[in-house]
Structure 1
């Protein structure tokens, strides 16, 4: 059968229509669905869609009966699958003649959904979902046996997969491809020879791939809704089920076969893979790919009209090529690590004589913790120049600097990237200012690798060196300590297993691939020098889940963190956050770090002031006066004359409320819904956002009164007249409160609702409400903690947008570029009202350090024209987001201005139903794509867009590209 092939039954849609009517009494429009060896027809009958399946003539009745039994068994396990429907004579299997040959025909219920293969890209969660479904199916099938499942003569039974490839290899017309398939086959056979009898056997679906799984999209999430086509159900190796499923991930990401790991992990949660299965898994993935290649080409040769098979040919080759690109030992280690069952890494034996002898050596740090990489110099060019500078600084006099094995180098990462960087050192570099003699650290034979490098190969390790001159000839045997060449400035060294010595050897790989490659690569540092301490390469740059666990144990979880599985961020530069693997993420949420991360001017000012003095503001020094004067200069002339310095926005709001109460003599405060002002007792009381405090309505004290959020997009009043309408409502309620004996003494609001997503307060609202509050004897507070300090571009303070002047202004966040500093600015008469209650004091507020940093931030803000940058780049962002809204209906509105924007996602543009689930999915996907983004707003459906104000046009373009990808995957 293998050599003859399995041409599909010769029946067209007219014949299928006739069969459906005559045998099953079903009529309706008929459409053919794809199949490699059977014929499948969808019949849209009045009773609903059904599937007419004409099985290949090669399959006997017992096999068809077994398929029916398997489907019923899986359906009973709660998984949606087809089930057989009776013919007009009550039979579940009917036999008809086609071209004079008997063929079995069935009518099956139709499992609705879109084939998973139609999804352009599978996210990690999609891949994991396929693994979960595969695991549940395998678990269900473990309990069924049937004579029709035993030793079916199928091409797809991986127990006979090697025979299939051998017999059909000539179907591959390209000689290079054929040779590659046969080489892979030899490796598979060598690996499986010791494993075959140890692999558990059970009933399997046999083809659980994206062709045979259907999905639906619910609120942006891809839900795998069912399994179709049980034509390959059989008894086979259990692990074959997951090996086959892995191929669905590979053809979409052929350059990264490790994308299949979430699938294996999810499968293993249901069906724990044995040690033998872990060893056999990747060889079987490769074997499945090879079978797909040869079978597909043969099928097209014998059935030229089979478009389904023809269209799959290149996809099937990419599956094979991707799987075969990963050595079995590397794949096995990567899988074991993913399952928390790691195998011991390869480690090099100790040197007999260190390769650089008595030459003094020092490690050079090129990772996140490096002090020798400064001010983003690692992003210059290809990073080589920065590496050389750092190595020169680290190297001892007349010595060498050695890079760290397994380190995620900043110098080999990029500022933006949709994929993790290829920056983890698989070898180490040896930097020197002059010639350095290398000696053989171990005895062995000299060889040349596939990429032309020198190798000293012993029984226990191979030392590979690139960049040596005057090396011995290949075939020469060297003893420990014998010269093997001279390094004239830079050499790269790998320590690998003797079997992998021939190479080629990559200098850099991804972190995920590095972990797998530890099966064959070791740290060569100890072979090079005895004067440096070797660190564990398996710790350097690791995600460090232990740190997250320590945080959870000691740092109260009530303080929260972004993401369920957060990257460990330890460094930043400008608008980028950098994790311990050196990956740069675009920071879209840090309105605190207004100048950008790691600004050298702030670092210098902080260091110098620390060396001079740091004490509280009750001492006399110039910085506190300078900062206060500079702050007043940013505000309307003559409107304010008193600055009070604190250490946070919460403290600023708390103090502002106390000042307003003292001056007005009234305890009652009016605020607006969906706002956030802080976490202290008073600031939380006037914070109405349920996203920050779900019990805000229950815990609100009687002295707090809430006005409707003046939201012209989704509130009670909409459109251009919304401001006046909301103002009328507010003034009416102010009057009601006064009449009931609780006149408002303080009105607090942001001039743009930051926590809700940068949503505009509509024109006319603030002016009218300010006038009404003041007319009633109250005080108005503009909370500028989030939206002030030039972030909106056109105005320095948010209230300026409304042509109003408040009585009190609160600010923080941007003031210190991440250092804790805040301020309350008002008039002297308001401050004087609090004088009889004692002086105001904040230990860190206005300290010498805080004040000096505050002045420096203002200097840089203006010198670098960051408000102007916020205006220019903000407009690029806003325009780009509006263009994305035209392509993606999920974007309901783009709020904000400058670099304080909000992208509101809705499920329906008319009802504006909040797309909260989709927003979380988008944020998680953006993290995969190199962007840190978070939801905001009471409905959790607005994307924060408030990056550092140094945000560049290039970063804006990258964000828009990543968001476009994330949104497209939801549609």
Structure 2
């Protein structure tokens, strides 16, 4: 092959810096001190720099002919992937001490080389592991996630002329003459010619940025060998047909227990479950997979004659080529494509028909499913949820994964801690102490002690017990239609609407909701008028002999329909309760941790500092965790009389999950995102209200939004059935919301906090269509 037609990565020519030079470079350029270990590199010289503590970095020294644009291309791609899908396990760029993505250093001959670094990813290389069906499907699904993240990224360097681009087979074709023996040469040449003839069909398929090299040597897996937890080496990225990416992985992720076709089918099924393949892509995959094998055999033959050292790494892959090609051709394209289609669809059909009946049989009839046509979900990423067939849903409802579904930082924190130690809080452990310190630092002064449990219900139960012990009284004030949890004690404090609402307990008094849209009072005096109902409730509790132990209140007033409460209402009621000797319990299970946007805690929006604050749901991004935060003297008065202990409350894994969640909330400025995105979303819904008379009112703050649906705007008549129809229609449009309020006519929008402006635009479009 002449110099004019030489392709990138045909020859292997990594630099030859010494270990000492690499260690000095890592410290001088990147500020990382450690021992250098040489790793394989086809075109780069790679060193792992191992510090005494931590994972260290991968130091990459590029060949002298490498272009800076290619480095900028890779850096941009990695940072784009991290933005689009933070949970994807891709390398993170480690910048120089000057904050640059790369720099240049000279070798002993004065030749400049680009140097860059990536954070080291711990894990086990998949190469050499026999992959089971679960790992193969997870591999396909992970690749699909990667391609989704890359779909809207582009860089001019994506046009690099790299030998591993299947479209370069035209230029590579003459080198097939070097293949021995003759029978294998004829087989490979036939596939190369076949692919060249098929290339016009490839040109008509979906194109985007692709990794183009996701084989077992570039993937890390978990210890159970069931899932991919690391993706490596983005040096061969190109803009190409999407099937090229799938073909590489399907062709090369194999073992010895099945046929090459079966291995490929499982990878394709996993991919298709996340990103459904288009009809024309199934036969194209057949052609691309055998072409990849022919390409490997040809490059190996060229290197054996021109670059023997570079050929060594391709030996095992090339040995697979002829048997795999023969297996595919013997079966025939129609049969193989039919198998690909069947394995991608069969399990989905089975689940769609069988799962609801199986669920009812073992979980009973009473466990409610959302939507008239239930949604079957198999995974989540950020603000999206995915069905088995790859259908993507924008999640605008679930507030438990507050920092996003599948958040990598939280998942890794849980995994590390579970693999190390998980025991109860009667042993010393630093994580729960650190979390308590970090948590109370976000609270007003005086709220300095934590009592850890496992859920919001348990937190409210514990806070209610504390209030009764401390005050010596047994009466509670709650909002009408309030919901505070599932325990027997807290259920009595939850006069939630619906057919199974409990009779009001004699020790509970409910307060009239301060609804300024459809309630009795509006205008300047509304707060005082609504707060006056607390006088009646307190008097009733005192007359019945219960007295006032506590006011328990959700500061977002979610179950009341996410009300815009008149200024001063909560503070006025709290003052009345305290004057009667009671405590104030701020239920922050739904409104806390930055969701309301303008304050980290919902109670702060009302100018109130509760005596006890209860937490749950989003505290650990889905890992069971809850807490009561209170003043030291209140907790002491309780624990002096009660030996309170929760086996799992505050355990090291829960603390690790909660710490990681708090880190993400603060590092990624998610409270600010909730403020700005929520404001944009409410403005958009107000705009829709000009066209859709069913929108009666738009309420809330941050990413806690209520949209009141009415049948007659002039009379503000609740329209619960219409609200349910809208929610169900949006579900079919790929956006998940809920309904709320005493009449069930309020659309409830409370997405994970990474929900951004483009997601708001998607929701508004779906809401417009649904209306």
Do Structure 1 and Structure 2 share a fold, with TM-score over 0.5? yes
- Taking the aligned partners of 2:673 and 2:686, their CA distance within structure 1 comes to 19
Alignment of 1:32-51 (within 5 A): none
Alignment of 1:299-314 (within 5 A): none
- Taking the aligned partners of 1:570 and 1:482, their CA distance within structure 2 comes to 32
Alignment of 1:216-365 (within 5 A): none
Give the equivalent residue in structure 2 for 1:546. Answer: 354
Please identify the structure whose Cα radius of gyration is greater. Answer: 1
CA separation of 1:366/1:552 partners in 2, compared to 1, >3 Å: closer, same or farther? same
2:394 is the counterpart of 1:586? yes
- Taking the aligned partners of 2:255 and 2:138, their CA distance within structure 1 comes to 27
In the TM superposition, residue 762 of structure 1 has moved relative to its aligned partner by 2.0
In the TM superposition, residue 836 of structure 1 has moved relative to its aligned partner by 4.3
CA separation of 1:560/1:422 partners in 2, compared to 1, >3 Å: closer, same or farther? farther
Tell me which of 393, 412, 430 is aligned to 1:622: 430
In the TM superposition, residue 678 of structure 1 has moved relative to its aligned partner by 0.5
Give the equivalent residue in structure 1 for 2:264. Answer: 402
- Work out whether residues 368 and 578 of structure 1, in 8 Å CA contact, stay in contact via their aligned partners in 2: no
**SS of aligned partner of 1:793:** coil
- Work out whether residues 542 and 581 of structure 1, in 8 Å CA contact, stay in contact via their aligned partners in 2: no
**SS of aligned partner of 2:346:** coil
CA separation of 1:539/1:741 partners in 2, compared to 1, >3 Å: closer, same or farther? closer
Alignment of 1:811-850 (within 5 A): 811-850=615-654
Gaps of 5+ in 1: 1-359, 414-419, 439-480, 498-520, 526-533
Superposed CA RMSD: 3.4
- Work out whether residues 437 and 485 of structure 1, in 8 Å CA contact, stay in contact via their aligned partners in 2: no
**SS of aligned partner of 1:823:** strand
**SS of aligned partner of 2:264:** strand
TM-score normalised per structure 2: 0.63
2:406 is the counterpart of 1:567? no
Give the equivalent residue in structure 1 for 2:496. Answer: 689
In the TM superposition, residue 373 of structure 1 has moved relative to its aligned partner by 3.8
Alignment of 1:405-444 (within 5 A): 407=269, 409=271, 413=275, 422=278, 426-427=282-283, 428-429=285-286, 431=289, 435-436=293-294
CA separation of 1:424/1:716 partners in 2, compared to 1, >3 Å: closer, same or farther? farther
- Taking the aligned partners of 2:363 and 2:255, their CA distance within structure 1 comes to 46
- Taking the aligned partners of 1:688 and 1:722, their CA distance within structure 2 comes to 23
- Work out whether residues 594 and 814 of structure 1, in 8 Å CA contact, stay in contact via their aligned partners in 2: yes
- Taking the aligned partners of 1:878 and 1:406, their CA distance within structure 2 comes to 41
More helix by percentage:
2
- Taking the aligned partners of 2:478 and 2:428, their CA distance within structure 1 comes to 38
- Work out whether residues 363 and 402 of structure 1, in 8 Å CA contact, stay in contact via their aligned partners in 2: no
2:327 is the counterpart of 1:523? no
2:311 is the counterpart of 1:495? no
2:403 is the counterpart of 1:599? no
- Taking the aligned partners of 2:439 and 2:272, their CA distance within structure 1 comes to 37
Give the equivalent residue in structure 2 for 1:936. Answer: 740
- Taking the aligned partners of 1:560 and 1:486, their CA distance within structure 2 comes to 47
Give the equivalent residue in structure 1 for 2:226. Answer: none
- Work out whether residues 378 and 411 of structure 1, in 8 Å CA contact, stay in contact via their aligned partners in 2: no
In the TM superposition, residue 484 of structure 1 has moved relative to its aligned partner by 8.9
- Work out whether residues 510 and 537 of structure 2, in 8 Å CA contact, stay in contact via their aligned partners in 1: no
- Taking the aligned partners of 1:374 and 1:614, their CA distance within structure 2 comes to 34
Give the equivalent residue in structure 1 for 2:481. Answer: 674
- Work out whether residues 713 and 719 of structure 1, in 8 Å CA contact, stay in contact via their aligned partners in 2: no
- Taking the aligned partners of 1:673 and 1:421, their CA distance within structure 2 comes to 51
In the TM superposition, residue 551 of structure 1 has moved relative to its aligned partner by 1.0
In the TM superposition, residue 540 of structure 1 has moved relative to its aligned partner by 4.5
- Taking the aligned partners of 2:294 and 2:255, their CA distance within structure 1 comes to 10
Give the equivalent residue in structure 2 for 1:860. Answer: 664
2:459 is the counterpart of 1:652? yes
In the TM superposition, residue 848 of structure 1 has moved relative to its aligned partner by 0.6
- Work out whether residues 710 and 718 of structure 2, in 8 Å CA contact, stay in contact via their aligned partners in 1: yes
- Taking the aligned partners of 2:755 and 2:734, their CA distance within structure 1 comes to 15
Gaps of 5+ in 2: 1-129, 152-206, 220-248, 297-322
CA separation of 1:412/1:564 partners in 2, compared to 1, >3 Å: closer, same or farther? closer
In the TM superposition, residue 756 of structure 1 has moved relative to its aligned partner by 3.0
Give the equivalent residue in structure 2 for 1:894. Answer: 698
Give CA deviations for 1:669-700 in whole Å, capped at 9, x if unaligned.
11111211001111111111213xx34352x2
State which drifts further: 949-958 or 393-402. Answer: 393-402
In the TM superposition, residue 547 of structure 1 has moved relative to its aligned partner by 1.7
- Taking the aligned partners of 2:144 and 2:435, their CA distance within structure 1 comes to 28
CA separation of 1:553/1:370 partners in 2, compared to 1, >3 Å: closer, same or farther? farther
Alignment of 1:946-965 (within 5 A): 946-965=750-769
- Work out whether residues 137 and 268 of structure 2, in 8 Å CA contact, stay in contact via their aligned partners in 1: no
Aligned residues: 523
- Work out whether residues 724 and 765 of structure 1, in 8 Å CA contact, stay in contact via their aligned partners in 2: yes
- Work out whether residues 556 and 590 of structure 2, in 8 Å CA contact, stay in contact via their aligned partners in 1: no
In the TM superposition, residue 563 of structure 1 has moved relative to its aligned partner by 2.1
In the TM superposition, residue 608 of structure 1 has moved relative to its aligned partner by 0.6
2:615 is the counterpart of 1:757? no
**SS of aligned partner of 1:907:** strand
Tell me which of 189, 211, 214 is aligned to 1:389: 214
In the TM superposition, residue 535 of structure 1 has moved relative to its aligned partner by 4.9
Give the equivalent residue in structure 2 for 1:84. Answer: none
CA separation of 1:839/1:522 partners in 2, compared to 1, >3 Å: closer, same or farther? same
- Work out whether residues 407 and 541 of structure 1, in 8 Å CA contact, stay in contact via their aligned partners in 2: no
- Work out whether residues 269 and 344 of structure 2, in 8 Å CA contact, stay in contact via their aligned partners in 1: no
CA separation of 1:363/1:813 partners in 2, compared to 1, >3 Å: closer, same or farther? closer
Alignment of 1:766-781 (within 5 A): 766-781=570-585
- Work out whether residues 405 and 537 of structure 1, in 8 Å CA contact, stay in contact via their aligned partners in 2: no
State which drifts further: 882-891 or 727-736. Answer: 727-736
In the TM superposition, residue 485 of structure 1 has moved relative to its aligned partner by 12
TM-score normalised per structure 1: 0.50
2:186 is the counterpart of 1:379? no
- Taking the aligned partners of 1:727 and 1:411, their CA distance within structure 2 comes to 53
**SS of aligned partner of 1:714:** coil
In the TM superposition, residue 738 of structure 1 has moved relative to its aligned partner by 2.5
Give CA deviations for 1:446-487 in whole Å, capped at 9, x if unaligned.
xxxxxxxxxxxxxxxxxxxxxxxxxxxxxxxxxxx9999999
In the TM superposition, residue 965 of structure 1 has moved relative to its aligned partner by 0.3
- Taking the aligned partners of 1:600 and 1:543, their CA distance within structure 2 comes to 28
CA separation of 1:398/1:818 partners in 2, compared to 1, >3 Å: closer, same or farther? closer
CA separation of 1:779/1:581 partners in 2, compared to 1, >3 Å: closer, same or farther? same
- Taking the aligned partners of 1:957 and 1:493, their CA distance within structure 2 comes to 46
